[in-house]
């Protein structure tokens, strides 16, 4: 029996105790956005730090401008190891009357389809997920007396309110954080039987544009025709941001982007992410992105451009025959690896200015600019983790992208120069942030086993 | 000495008394929008009716759902005559502290450039203008004992609050209104020395469009790319409403439009209505209408399309990465003779629907649809009135269009089948609707003389 087999057997045998420990963690109402729960946040951090110390990880609270970070270091040796990130804070629980049981009294519930689930605020996001990793470490320590590789733990307490204090804290503590690889357990499975590693997160560039034409509002009867209408100018420019094939027309927009390897693309194409099951549930039918790309490519590895808001002129009830002086829009771009936010910003602004009539002006406001983050497709730890997940679940682990940004991953790359694997066991029906949040017992149990396999593989 | 010469001499000799009568009318604070001035409105109507009766015009108040109409009929005989329209109501006077003298205590004032002007609320709009016609009638009666042709007077009291009761009233009283021609004195001169007849008023079609894509707001990170963005759809459609030459691209939009006669176009082109003096004062430079047309054509005889309002998505401060479910716009068209509002409405809706992705819907709301009104270029009374004005002012009277709608003119055409000549003596600096409204003494005096010449000419 290999060490890993012994560890997995220990995990199976210890599941009830693992659940008890998770329940104890879940009972602490560590709602980070609510100042009246500040002491609970600190209690959750202290509870976790104490638990980690029991595993030989030198863990303690590290102060920030907000709730403390749990920082721990264990596993010794010369090898560089992994940095594990999660968060101990949870979302508020209102509306409380929609909960079937009190949110901080965790319980096991059998769902209508027979699945068993842990129900509590934080069961999935992120206490349950954090504990899958902690319990895997505990099993190694129980079987071998030590962690299989050096492990740094960074469990923050402000993720649910924007991780405001974290970038500064990381910058100040980067020495303590250096590792070969970051592991984040705050994402989901592809579906209940298919594990996934998120390897690419799109970046975000968010611009606001204000077009000014006349120096005052004009009457459309007296001026309509000769007078420039800034809404016409704005719609004409923004209406030209995409061509008939759904491609963004800004010159150079796609420069530097490369496609995922053929096997990854092939795996994506085999997925059942069709317009019917991705778009139909929200009332749509036709993919609106690049015509030559599948829905999943449009989401995982292709940039997009959206107009998130537009306004100008008269927007009240009835009619007003005004030609306004100004028109406004908020335009954002989801970026992928190879695209530089500053370059795209300048290209967008040039695109607008180039189309601007000579008697109009454009003013821009920059709201956000964050590059995409992507794990190199040939990263050896990626292959190792993928293989480990595949062995645990009996199904090829997918490498997926995420359309949305997760700032911590960009920070790890930017501030510590570290790649991140996002591996999690949440399911789409976990109702995170909502009443009756749950985490499947299978997610918890096989999540622990998955981490054991991954740690074993990464320890090499 | 012809009768007309005697009438003109009488007008000159009677000017001080004419002013006294105008001042008496101006002293009545007939603010139609303010219910506390309802009795003043009625008093102004009664005052005017009594004055008209003194001229042998059988005038009385005719009740409406709102303020009464002054309806009078005089001049007898078998010949059909003219219908004169004006209004006795005035705009509110606030902000009162910006008036140099009380608004209802009319006075003569010498302006900085030496012009003399009557200052009071209503001096120009429209009591002063109405009295130019009344005083011309009075001079005829004084000299000849009678009006030179049958005159019907329709002086309403709700023009400044939208003439709400008038269409119904006209419909009910159309028998009393039949005349060869309507005369409206509520417009202006081209400039202080150039008289003008407004012969064409653009119509108005005002549509609201709502585009729906998904059945809920979506997160642009999770959906950006595949998910249809209704603001993108809207900007793409509206951005295509004009081509690079400034022409509206809706199929059939220009069908049925004819150009004015060559001499009218030549007269317009000789006017100094350049981009520099029409657009520069409001901060613009380039005419935005059809490239092949002058500014004055774009205003007087060409239709236009404007987006008067647009809204959708997040319009607050900062950024929100939303793909909204809906986007909205208010789109209006200024129409010219030959264009049917219903046809254009259907063409616009078809234009939008044709470009709509299959998973979006468009909902339309119709706010207004009024056809353009134009006097036939060869109307014999038009030539007569033009000649009369030219003789009084020593300068060719211009035939002009107006970009804006004046509903009463459309009603006269639609309900009574009557053409309307709009002739007025207001100047651009009259500050109508604003503090210190004035009417040049020259406008008043030569306005009276102009009507005398016109009435004489129309009486043939």
Tell me: the pLDDT tens digits for A276-307? 989 999 999 999 999 999 999 999 999 999 99
Mean of the pLDDT values across residues B351-372?
Answer: 94
Domain boundaries, chain A: 3-201+372-459, 203-262+298-368
Query: Taking Cα atoms as reference points, which of B239, B264, B258 lies closest to residue B249?
Result: B239
Mean pLDDT value of segment B26-53: 97
pLDDT at A78 over 70: no
Q: What is the pLDDT of residue B77?
A: 64
* Contact residues, chain A, for B218 at CB < 8 Å: 282
Say whether B226 and A367 touch across the interface (CB within 8 A).
Answer: no
The two structure tokens encoding residue B430 = 């009259």
Residue environment code for A268-301, b if the CB has 16+ CB neighbours within 10 A, otherwise e: beebebebeebbeebbbeebbbbeebbbbbbbbb
Looking at residue B204, its pLDDT comes to 92
Select the residue of B235, B299, B327 nearest A226 (Cβ to Cβ).
B299
The residue of A235, A373, A405, A409 whose CB has the most chain B CBs within 10 angstroms, and thus the best one to mutate to test that interface, is: A235
Least confident among A203-207, B75-79, B267-271, B406-410: B75-79
Say if residue B222's pLDDT is above 90.
no
Cβ separation A232–B321 shorter than 8 A: no
Element (H, E) at A21: helix A15-26
For residue range A315-368, list pLDDT tens digits in order: 999 988 899 999 999 999 999 999 999 999 999 999 999 999 999 999 999 998
Chain segment A28-46, per-residue pLDDT in tens = 999 999 999 999 999 999 9
The confidence band for A79, taking pLDDT boundaries of 50, 70 and 90, is low
CATH 3.30.930.10 fits B3-201+372-459, yes or no: no
Please count the CA atoms within 13 angstroms of the CA of B415 that sit on its side-chain side.
Answer: 19
Query: In Å, how far is B75's CA from the nearest CA of chain A?
Result: 37
Residue B43 near residue B101, CB atoms below 8 Å: no
Model pLDDT, residue B76: 73
Please report the pLDDT score of residue B403 as a whole number.
76
B389: tokens are: 């004005």
Per-residue pLDDT at B44: 98
Which residue blocks in A54-83 are alpha helix, DSSP H?
none
pLDDT (0 to 100) of residue B407: 79
> What is the pLDDT averaged over residues A133-145?
97
* Cβ neighbours of residue A73 closer than 8 Å, sequence gap 6 or more: A57, A58, A59, A150, A151, A152, A153, A176
Contact list, B332 vs chain A (CB under 8 Å) = 220, 224, 319, 321
pLDDT of residue B271: 86
| Average confidence (pLDDT) over B62-91 | 91
Nearest to A286 among B228, B304, B368 (CB): B228
B329 confidence band (pLDDT: 50, 70, 90): very high
C-alpha span between B438 and B110 (Å, rounded): 11
Out of A235, A241, A320, name the one closest to residue B238 (CB).
Answer: A235
- Is the pLDDT at A407 greater than 70? The verdict is yes
| A235 vs B239, B283, B402: nearest CB | B239
Q: Give the pLDDT confidence of A153-196 residue by residue, as tens digits.
A: 999 999 988 888 999 999 999 889 989 999 999 999 999 999 99
B133 close to B84: Cβ distance less than 8 angstroms: yes
Mean pLDDT of chain B: 95
The nearest alpha carbon in chain A to B222 belongs to A403
B239 contacts in A (CB within 8 Å)? 232, 235-240
Q: What are residue A136's phi and psi, to 5 degrees?
A: -65, -45
Mean pLDDT of B63-77: 92
The pLDDT confidence band at residue A19, using thresholds 50, 70 and 90, is very high
User: What integer is the mean pLDDT of B385-404?
Assistant: 93
Contacts of B285 in chain A (CB under 8 A): 358-359
Q: Are A202 and A333 in contact (CB under 8 A)?
A: no
Cα–Cα distance measured from residue A204 to residue A305, given in angstroms and rounded to the nearest whole number? 10
Stretch B53-74: mean pLDDT: 96
Instruction: Please state which of the four CATH numbers 3.30.1550.10, 3.30.450.20, 3.30.70.1140, 3.30.70.360 is assigned to the domain occupying A203-262+298-368.
Output: 3.30.70.360
Q: What is the 3-state secondary structure (H, E, C) of A276-302?
A: HHHCHHHCCCCCCCCCCCCHHHHHHCC
Q: What is the pLDDT of residue B406?
A: 78
Structure confidence at residue A185 (pLDDT): 96
Alpha-carbon gap, residue A233 to B230, rounded angstroms: 18
CB-based contacts of B171, cutoff 8 Å, min separation 6: B415
Q: Percent of chain A having pLDDT more than 70?
A: 99
Alpha helices in A318-379 (DSSP H): 341-354
- Output the pLDDT for position A51: 98
CA B221 to chain centre: 51
Quick one: pLDDT at residue A349? 98
Rounded to a whole number of angstroms, the distance from the CA of A332 to the nearest CA of chain B is: 8
B228 vs A contacts (CB less than 8 Å): 284, 286, 288
Q: Which of B423, B429, B432, B447 is nearest to B122 (CA)?
A: B432
In this complex, do B308 and A299 lie within 8 Å of one another by their Cβ atoms?
no
What pLDDT shows up at residue B319? 87
Alpha-carbon gap: B453 to the closest alpha carbon of chain A (Å): 30
Model confidence at B331: pLDDT above 80:
yes
Give yes or no for residue A273 having a pLDDT over 90.
no
Tell me what pLDDT residue A77 has: 64
pLDDT at B202: 93
Residues of A in contact with B310 (CB under 8 A): 231, 234-235, 310-313, 315, 327
Query: Domain B203-257+303-370: which topology?
Result: Alpha-Beta Plaits (3.30.70)
pLDDT (0 to 100) of residue B75: 87
Q: Identify the closest residue of chain B to A302 by CA–CA distance.
A: B225
Q: What is the pLDDT of residue B23?
A: 98
pLDDT given for residue A80 in this prediction: 74
Tell me whether residues A242 and B232 touch, CB distance under 8 A. Answer: yes
- The per-residue pLDDT of chain A, averaged, comes to 95
């Amino acid at each position: 029996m290999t060490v890993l087999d012994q560890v997995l057997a220990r995990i199976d045998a210890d599941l009830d105790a693992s659940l008890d420990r998770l329940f104890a963690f879940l009972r602490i109402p560590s709602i980070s956005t609510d100042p009246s729960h500040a002491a609970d946040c600190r209690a959750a951090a202290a509870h976790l730090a104490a638990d980690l110390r029991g595993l030989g990880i030198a863990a303690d609270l590290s102060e920030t401008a907000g709730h403390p970070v749990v920082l721990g270091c264990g596993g010794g040796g010369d090898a560089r190891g992994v940095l594990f990130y999660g968060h101990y804070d949870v979302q508020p629980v209102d509306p409380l009357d929609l909960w079937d049981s009190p949110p901080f009294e965790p319980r096991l519930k059998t769902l209508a389809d027979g699945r068993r689930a842990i129900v509590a605020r934080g069961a999935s996001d992120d206490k349950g997920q954090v504990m899958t990793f902690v319990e895997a470490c505990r099993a190694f320590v129980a079987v071998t007396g030590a962690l299989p590789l050096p492990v740094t733990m960074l469990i923050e307490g402000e993720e649910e309110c924007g991780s405001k204090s974290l970038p500064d804290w990381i910058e100040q503590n980067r020495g303590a954080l250096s590792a070969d690889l970051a592991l984040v357990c705050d994402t989901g499975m592809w579906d209940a039987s298919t594990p996934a590693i998120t390897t690419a997160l799109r970046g975000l560039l968010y611009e606001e544009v204000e077009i000014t034409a006349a120096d005052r509002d004009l009457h459309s009867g007296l001026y309509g025709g000769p007078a420039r209408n800034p809404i016409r100018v704005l719609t004409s420019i923004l209406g030209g941001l995409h061509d008939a094939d759904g491609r963004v027309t800004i010159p150079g927009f796609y420069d530097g982007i490369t496609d995922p390897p053929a096997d990854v693309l092939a795996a994506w194409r085999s997925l059942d992410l069709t317009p019917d099951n991705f778009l139909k549930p929200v009332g749509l039918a036709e993919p609106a992105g690049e015509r030559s790309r599948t829905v999943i490519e449009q989401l995982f590895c292709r940039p997009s451009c959206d107009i998130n808001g537009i306004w100008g002129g008269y927007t009240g009830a009835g009619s007003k025959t005004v030609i306004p002086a100004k028109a406004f829009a908020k335009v954002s771009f989801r970026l992928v690896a190879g695209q530089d936010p500053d370059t795209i910003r300048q290209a967008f602004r040039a695109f607008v200015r180039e189309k601007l009539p000579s008697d109009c002006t454009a003013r821009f406001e920059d709201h956000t600019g964050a590059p995409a983050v992507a794990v190199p497709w040939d990263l050896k730890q990626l292959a190792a983790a993928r293989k480990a997940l595949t062995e645990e679940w009996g199904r090829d682990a997918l490498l997926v992208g995420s359309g949305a940004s997760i700032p911590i991953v960009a920070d790890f790359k930017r501030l510590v120069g570290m790649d991140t694997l996002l591996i999690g066991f949440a399911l789409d029906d976990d109702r995170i942030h909502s009443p009756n949040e749950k985490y499947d017992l299978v997610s918890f149990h096989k999540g622990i086993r998955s981490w054991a396999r991954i740690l074993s593989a990464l320890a090499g």
